[in-house]
Amino acid sequence: MTLFKRILIPTDGSDNTKEAILKGLEMAKVMDAEVTALYVVDQTSFINFPMDSTIVSVYSLLEKEGKDAVEYVQSEGAKLGVKVAVKVEEGSPARKIVDASKFHDLVVMGTLGRTGISKILLGSVAERVVRFADCPVLVVRSHKGGSA
């Protein structure tokens, strides 16, 4: 069996990622792996907006959300005795996760399991990561709020 020594756990701070976070941390504990929790402030949402005080305020809120999200992974890791490094980056979530995959042995991430029109309109970060990551990807489907 291949042991994974560096596990990347991307999070968006939602409840839908909690199952993936737990699975990733449990695997890290069993394999004595290093974990990196990654939150990406999605800049693609702001591309067409002028940088006024409202956008700066929303951006600051997203940065705080990111910090809280990776700190959640860190605190859950501490409960299991798993050390977690945290990163908050800016850019396209799929692209940043794929870029980070070059330095990890496994990506463990959640998905809502969207289908049909919502998938077409919203796309799937998980699907793009599975297609382009440089390491294996474990996608953990959330049973909260997902529809199939």
- Residue pointed to by tokens 């970060």: 125
Query: 6-141, what's its fold?
Result: Rossmann fold (3.40.50)
Confidence of residue 59 (pLDDT cuts 50, 70, 90): confident
Q: Determine the pLDDT at residue 119.
A: 52
**Cα atoms in the 13 Å half-sphere on the side-chain side of 43:** 8
Q: Determine the pLDDT at residue 122.
A: 47
pTM (predicted TM-score): 0.85
Smallest CA-to-CA distance from 86 within 54, 120, 105, 63 is with: 63
Residues in contact with 77: Cβ distance below 8 Å, sequence separation at least 6, in sequence order: 25, 28, 35, 37, 83, 84
